[in-house]
A and B are shown apart, each in its own frame.
Chain A
Amino acid sequence: MSEGGETHHFRRLIAIWVVLAVALDLAFYFALGPHIPPGAMTSSASGAQFDFNILFLIALPVVLAVWVYWAYALIVWRGSRAGAPEPEGGPKARGHFGIQVAWIVTTTVIVLGVFVFGTVELIVPAGAGGGEGQSPIWTPTSHDVLPVQVIAQQWQFIYRYPTFGGFESRQLMLPLDTTIAFHVTSLDVIHDFWAYQLGIKADANPSTDNVAYTTTQQLGSVTVRCDELCGLWHGAMYNFGRVVAKSQFFAWAQATEHQNAANTKLLPPFAYTYVPDANGANGGYYPDNVDQYSKVETYGAKNPDN
């Protein structure tokens, strides 16, 4: 095959690849992209969706480059085709400096670009919905944050609302257009709080306050599952939640606070973590500190620090 013939093939391959890559990338982004899980119920969910879509847009041309070359070679250079060139190997095989450099530069740029993109996407949206430990360094800009404590115990999640008198509920209810600080902890073994539609996932460790942030932006139902093998009924450790209008949330919170008042006064004071009493096994848990929740997390609070 002449030099001119190789150039002809190369240009044709590039043309096919570019057309396919642009067409499929656009089709994916506009047709499928908005429907990619976990949806857009919260800032962290839509952030995860955006991240996935961008990574897919980057990965698709790479996959197409391989597939297009593979298909082209099968069709154009197959051995049974009249005029197909004989494959060259051994001493006759030669490298192409330009292609090698282009390959190394392109893959390096893609990998480093994905690294930078992923890091920025983790930092900018206040941790992207992941548990940030006890002292988050990526915090939301809002100063009107609703704290919700997630207390895991074999095998159920309980939710505590410190700014509404500290009542506990088995229902996760969240107000729309509100920044939430999930304080995730456990009373026994390691669990994992995974609120899929919220784009939230944080380990629940005993004696640890694992904080994760998000901002609600759509109404809807939420399924919460434990995502850490935690014993016999791990598979049944799930419950449901809802993102509702602010007025509906306040009505629910106040009604539940009133309804549970007799039991709430028997609960230990709110604390970020709880530890077992001296009896160890079989005993109750008590706050291991007396700190109030953060002063910025005062959503709906009745003068909690006064």
Chain B
Amino acid sequence: MAIVGVLLAVAVGLVVFTVMAFLRSSPPTVDFTAGHQAGAPVDLTLQTVGSIGFGPHPSWVSYLTLNPEGQWVHTTLWDLPANTRINVTVDQYDGGSPLRNQQYGQVQGTVGGEATLNGKSFQVINANAGNGVAHTFAIPTLGISVPLYANNGSSNLCAAAPCTFKSPHNIVKFSFMTPGPGQYPWQCFLPCGLGYLYGNGGPMQTVGYMDGFLKVVA
């Protein structure tokens, strides 16, 4: 009887440990504050890929982050210094579609109210024309939103991260100012969770793929 009790307790413990480990799991946070000098801008380089190609969901679309050591990290969590200009570069490797709401085709909240696409300044992308929009980079609580122009869907798009410039890509650059300390969620506003109802599931609902946090620290 005692042995059964012990085995039962061990089994319950394993279940609890597994559930807690799952619930507490989180992508790594890339730290851009170490060694940062006050007033100096921070360069944040990202890439978007149509299918991450590894991990538990290899077919999911995702963002990746280039850490200060120059390595691509599968995460959407960043430590950023407060009240600092962040120069963002997005290497966009995915195909596109219309936006659910063309309002997100407009650049908003960036320094100067604009962004550049392959070196050319732009303020609006018509998501119903050309290649459409692949994703957006948006921080709703800060009023920031930038559409990422898509690549031709019929071209040989990169299918596994990290992608390189050998694959079709667009480079979108913009800058924004971080506010005071706090956590600010950011996300893509184009429902890109293919295979899920109206594209809203999977990577659209998972931190580390199309959602993340700016952890702004003093």
Binding site for B on A (CB under 8 A): 151, 153-156, 158, 168, 170, 187-189, 231-233, 236-239, 260, 262-263, 266-268, 276-277, 279-285
Contacts and interface: CB of A to CB of B under 8 A. Distances in A.
B128 interface: yes
Given A154-B204, A276-B198, A285 B101 contact: yes
Nearest to B99: A284
Nearest to B205: A232
B185 A263 contact: no
B105 A153 contact: no
Interface in B96-112: 97-103, 105-106, 108
B106 A263 contact: yes
A233 B185 contact: yes
Contacts of A238: 141
B124 interface: yes
A263 B124 contact: yes
A188 B198 CA distance: 7
Contact of B98 (A158, A168, A283): A283
B128 A266 contact: yes
Given A263-B124, A284-B97, A285-B100, A231 B191 contact: no
Contact of B187 (A155, A276, A285): A155
Given A262-B106, A281-B193, 15 more contacts: A153-B100, A154-B200, A155-B140, A158-B101, A170-B143, A188-B191, A231-B205, A236-B140, A238-B141, A262-B123, A266-B124, A279-B97, A281-B191, A282-B191, A283-B98
Contacts of B4: none
Contacts of B185: 233, 236
Main secondary structure of the interface of A (DSSP, over half): loop
Contacts of A267: 102-103
Interface in B173-214: 185, 187, 189-200, 204-207, 211
Interface string B121-165: 001101110000000001011010000000000000000000000
B106 A153 contact: no
B204 A153 contact: no
Contacts of A277: 98
Given A232-B207, A281-B194, A158 B103 contact: yes
29 contacts: A151-B101, A154-B200, A156-B138, A156-B140, A156-B189, A170-B108, A170-B140, A170-B143, A187-B100, A188-B100, A188-B198, A189-B200, A231-B204, A232-B204, A232-B207, A233-B140, A233-B211, A236-B141, A238-B141, A262-B124, A266-B105, A266-B124, A268-B102, A279-B97, A281-B194, A281-B196, A284-B97, A284-B102, A285-B100
A282 B101 contact: no
A154 B190 CA distance: 10
Contacts of B200: 154, 188-189, 231, 281
A148 to B, nearest CB: 15
Which of B103, B126, B187, B200 has the most C-beta atoms of chain A within 10 angstroms of its own C-beta?
B103
B190 A282 contact: yes
